[in-house]
Amino acid sequence: MPKHFGHLGAKEFKFLFHDGRLSKSNLYENGYNSPAEEWLPKGLTNLLAAQDMFPVPSQFEMAGTQKKIKLQALLMTELTTCGQLFLSACAIYLNMVRYL
C-alpha cells in the first residue's frame, strides 16, 4: 500500500490486510488490535501509521508452504501441457482452413 494512501481519502477503512489483522480497537492501550498486540507503540496517529510498523508479510504468505509449492508446480506443468495441446490444435485448424 502506498505511503500516501491515507491522504487519498482512505480514512474510512476500519481494518487493513486481507484478513483484517490490523484494526482500530481499545483492546490494547495503543488503540489497535494487531499481531503485535500490546507491543505496538502508543501514539500512532492513524491506521496507516500502524500498518507502516509491520514488516514484509510472513514467508508463508509470500512463498507458500511446501505442499502449495508442489501443487503449483504440478498445475504449471499441466497448464503448459494444455497450452501446448491447444496451440497444436489451433495450428492444425489453421492449416485445415487454408485448404477450404
| Domain spans of the chain, in order of start | 1-55, 62-100
Whole-angstrom distance, CA of residue 100 vs CA of residue 96: 7
Q: How far is CA 29 from CA 44, 51, 77, in A?
A: 11, 17, 51
Task: Tell me which amino acid residue 43 is.
Answer: G
**Pairing label, strands 22-24, 32-33:** antiparallel
Residue 94 has pLDDT above 80, yes or no: no
pLDDT the model gives residue 96: 75
Contact between 47 and 22 (Cβ < 8 Å): yes
Which residues face 22 on adjacent strands? 16
The 3-state DSSP class for residue 69 equals helix
Over residues 31-85, the pLDDT tens digits come to 999 888 888 888 888 888 888 887 755 555 556 666 767 777 777 777 777 777 7
Whole-angstrom distance, CA of residue 5 vs CA of residue 56: 17
Residue 25 has pLDDT above 80, yes or no: yes
